[in-house]
Amino acid sequence: MTGANGTALSATGLHTFYGKSHILHGVSLEVAAGRITTLLGRNGAGKTTTLRSLIGLTPAREGRITIFGQETTRWPSFRVAALGVGYVPEGRRIFPNLSVEENLKVPLERSGPWSIARIYDLFPRLHERRHNRGRQLSGGEQQMLAIARALLVNPRLLMLDEPSQGLAPLVVREMFRIVEQMRSEGISVLLVEQNARMSLAIADHAYVLDDGAIVYSGPAKALAADEERVQALAGAGAGEWQADDSPLNGLSERYRNA
Amino acid sequence: MSSLVILNVANGVVTGAFFVLMALGLSLILNLSGIINFAHGGFLALGGYIAFALSKYVGFLGALLLAPFLAAILGLAIEWTLIRRLYGRDPLYSLLLTFGLAFIFQDGTRYLWGAQGLPMAIPAFLAQPISDSLFFVTRYRLFNLAIVALIVALLFVLLRHTRFGIRIRAGTLDLETVAALGVNVRLLRSFNFGVGILLAGLGGVLAAGQFRLDPTMGDDYLMPSFIAIIVGGVGSLGGTVLGGLLIGIATGVTTVYLPSASEAVMYVMMAVVLLIRPRGLFGEEGMMS
Ligand SMILES: Nc1ncnc2c1ncn2[C@@H]1O[C@H](COP(=O)(O)OP(=O)(O)OP(=O)(O)O)[C@@H](O)[C@H]1O
Ligand SMILES: [Mg+2]
């Protein structure tokens, strides 16, 4: 069920509440195995709430979640993660009081190809800064650390919540390149983003969420071609991103405060 | 006069060492689980009484080794059945529960061992003074200090260099993210609670050897230990150690010059530290760093 044509995750009819406020109104979505699925939507649409429901941090009150063939609907988040789900939370949530290396020792050690040594190969910058506290890192470095931390669970499914938020353009490109690389590693990806253009460029399938309900589901290419919709999704920031071809190995000091 | 001061500073350091053991356990439980454990003094007394019962069979040193673990196992059972239900709720619930537990421990030990103080026999070689000139310092006091220093060092190694300890430190700031990274946070909290009770139980055995056993013995340490945490800075383990020793010495020395104020002095210290540094001596934003 995790083969090339299989489904990594499927959710049907999720209703999620914060106290009395009803946030998700019957969200259903699927993440195909080995593919990148992106979940787009404007501020407050419910993207973060959807991911939190899927990982079990804010359990859905109604609905059903199946991950790699297991029904995980009522599971606590540590059990969901232990199934092989890596989670990169909104705002990164780096442990500020721990060093970079200690941050990397927090995740469960599921067996698999990822080790701290391999993480340092992929992110040389994290190796350089391994003795620095989490709070001393730049935004870009923190985002890399958040992704690295999730990879150390050796995930079969990676869920990222706005990994490009607040990063400089070059770092954003680096970040999307890494997400693409994860797909070639065979990891299924659910990518929540505000940066509609770039997500659609790497994604296979796209969903659009609005007011807690899915309003679009289709191939990412098809949505990308619909300039009007993309404009609406991307809002004011649509034209701001400029391509920049200068090579980037690791993360530059220049983006320390990105 | 000066030897009287030395005597009381020495006494203060030894008493402070008990505060340190208590305060470190309280601090672990408070920081990771948000529980203010009013039963901590009860666990200390329990450690002492268990050691008293065991020492007939395995001697003092055997009891010193075993009793803290038995106290910790009982602590785990209580965490498992009662305390864990209150995680994430209003702190008032856990205050009420642990307050109630403190009374149950007190009455339980009173019922089993009686209300009168019981002497705990220590090995003869520890009961001697360290020298003729320092006749007032028994070897047992140095032994106490050495054990506490060893345990504090081990605790620091645990928290800095093991994944278990690193996860506890991460969890003090953001337990939700620790859970989302696949760590069984229920077990993490349980073991952390167990470690805290282990420290209290050890304190109980050591205190029983120095003073004697009575059902309320833990109460004398509870308030000073809370104050030690606040003076040192909530979340800073190094600060907690320093706070415990400072409170111990301050009360020890005040006993000489102004006996009636020996209790009040720790509250004064707390007020002064909080006025100058509201976060305590070593309190900083990153907890347990
Ligand atoms: N803890 C909370 N308590 C109450 N309401 C919340 C809470 N978190 C989010 N909400 C509300 O739920 C709705 C959806 O929020 P959510 O964070 O899921 O949106 P989002 O799509 O991730 O937005 P953004 O792009 O700004 O991150 C919003 O109306 C928000 O105000
Ligand atoms: Mg969000």
**The whole model's pTM is what?**
0.89
Domain A4-92+155-171+185-257 has CATH 3.40.50.2000: no
Which one, of A5, A30, A249, lies nearest residue A144 by Cα? A249
B184 and A CB contact within 8 Å: yes
C-alpha A113/C-alpha A40 separation (Å) is 30
Q: Which ligand is nearest to the CA of A161?
A: 2
Instruction: Please check whether residue A95 touches B, CB under 8 A.
Output: yes
Nearest CA to ligand 1 atom 1: A18
Instruction: Out of A78, A95, A153, name the one closest to residue B184 (CB).
Output: A78
Least confident of A5-9, A123-127, B102-106, B122-126: B122-126
Residue A209, CA atoms < 13 Å, CB-side half-sphere: 30
A130 Cβ under 8 Å from any chain B Cβ: no
Ligand nearest to the CA of A21: 1
How many helices (H) and strands (E) chain B has is answered by 10, 0
d(CA A210, CA A25) in angstroms, rounded, equals 10
- B40 has pLDDT over 90: yes
pLDDT at A258 over 80: no
In terms of DSSP H, where are the helices of A129-248? 139-151, 169-184, 196-202, 220-225, 227-234
What is the A47 CA–ligand 1 centroid distance (Å)? 8
Q: Per the structure block, which two tokens stand in for B208?
A: 């029983």
Cα–Cα distance for residue pair B19/B249, rounded to 1 Å:
11
How far apart are alpha carbons A126 and A140 in whole angstroms? Answer: 11
Query: Which H/E stretch holds residue B145?
Result: helix B139-161
Segment B124-139 mean pLDDT: 75
- Quick check: B169 and A95 CB within 8 A? yes
Three-class SS state of B31: helix
**Which of the four pLDDT bands, split at 50, 70 and 90, describes residue A235?**
low
The residue whose CA has the least distance to atom 31 of ligand 1 is A44
Picking from A100, A179, A114, A196, the residue whose alpha carbon sits closest to that of residue A142 is A100
Which pLDDT tens digit goes with each residue over B69-89? 999 999 999 999 999 999 988
Distance A42 CA to ligand 2 centre (A): 9
Does residue A155 contact residue A85 with C-beta atoms inside 8 Å? Answer: yes
Contact B146, B10 (CB under 8 A): no
Q: Answer whether A205 contacts ligand 1 (Cβ < 6 A).
A: no
Of B181, B285, B287, the CB nearest to A106: B181
Q: How many C-beta neighbours within 10 Å does residue A120 have? A: 18
Who wins on pLDDT, B126 or B143?
A: B143
CB A172 within 8 A of CB A160: no
Q: B168 vs chain A: nearest CA distance in angstroms?
A: 9
Domain spans, chain A: 4-92+155-171+185-257
Instruction: Please tell me the distance between residue A90's alpha carbon and the centre of ligand 2 in angstroms.
Output: 6
The domain spans of chain B are 2-216
Q: Picking from A12-21, A44-53, B208-217, which range would have the lowest pLDDT averaged per residue?
A: B208-217
Q: Which helix (H) or strand (E) holds A95?
A: none
Higher pLDDT, B252 or B33: B33
Q: List the single residue in A with minimal CA-CA distance to B235.
A: A97
Q: Which residues of A touch B177 (CB under 8 A)?
A: 89, 93, 95
User: Of ligand 1's atoms, which has the minimum distance to the CA of residue A46?
Assistant: 18
CB contact under 8 A, A102 and B185: no
User: What is the secondary structure of B42-89 as a DSSP string?
Assistant: HHHHHHHHHHHHHHHHHHHHHHHHHHHHHHHHHHHHHHHHTGGGGTTS
Q: Tell me: pLDDT of B203 over 50.
A: yes
Helix (H) or strand (E) holding B108: helix B91-113
- Residue A219 — very low, low, confident or very high, per pLDDT cuts 50/70/90? very high
